[in-house]
Amino acid sequence: MALDSRSLSPAQRYALVLVDLSVGFTDPTKSPLASECPAVIEANRKLLEAFRRRGWPVIFTTVAYDQPSQARVFREKIPALNVLAAGSELVRIDPRLTPQDGEPVLVKFWASAFFGTDLAQRLHEAGVDGVMVTGLTTSGCVRATALDALQHEFRVLLPEQAVGDRDALAHQANLRDLQIKYADVRDLEDCLALLG
């Protein structure tokens, strides 16, 4: 039997949380973690423009390690994460989406942008009640961030074209599950319309 799943009412004020749109995830010629994702980059570029025009908060995340003790079990499970060395080109945000002054880049060690960071505090201080979660990958860090956003009582929107995954089946399955239980998955144009 299907769950009674409803659409969330729109937030009063959204923040854009761009998850791991770093070179290590966007350039497959440089990293085993990356995939070709020009459409995802373009969708995020459009959202960035809209959020900047509106003056609503923009926060980027990246994964970067400078000590063997950081997320050691996660890195044992996925050894490719070890390429994400702090200070390397791979942990920099993709140059097509360069953060502007006042747009923080939070360093995280695990999947969720909330776990072990001050993201929730930043969002509360910015007076937001909703987040648009974008980036890479849908089945990993995007999903974990969306779930934690809900658990911090934020209204969660996922612009469908602004998220991506190396695995197409995992991408679709996770979007479906997120839509049913944790977030509203919407067309990019619908999300842009909310930003005026």
Residues 8-25 have pLDDT tens digits of: 999 999 999 999 999 999
Which residue type, as a one-letter code, is found at position 62?
A: T
Burial of residue 41 (CB within 10 Å: 0-12, 13-18, 19+) is middle
Which of 28, 86, 25, 19 has the alpha carbon at shortest distance from 47?
A: 19
Which of 20, 10, 48, 19 has the alpha carbon at shortest distance from 130?
A: 10
Which of 183, 157, 188 has the alpha carbon at shortest distance from 46?
A: 188
- Residue 120: the pLDDT is 98
Q: Could you tell me if 163 and 20 are in contact, meaning their C-beta atoms sit under 8 angstroms apart?
A: no
Number of Cβ atoms within 10 Å of the Cβ of 114: 24
Residue spans of the domains in the chain: they are 14-194
CA atoms within 13 A on the CB side of 61: 28
| Alpha carbon distance 175, 47 (integer Å) | 19
| Alpha carbon distance 37, 25 (integer Å) | 9
- Residue 196: the pLDDT is 82
Residue of 43, 141, 162, 178 marked active site? 141
pTM surpassing 0.95? Answer: yes
Pick the CATH number of 14-194 from 3.60.70.12, 1.10.1060.10, 3.40.50.850, 3.20.20.140: 3.40.50.850
Residues 125-134 have pLDDT tens digits of: 999 999 999 9
Handedness of CA 63, 68, 73, 78 (dihedral sign): positive
Residue 191 designated active-site? no
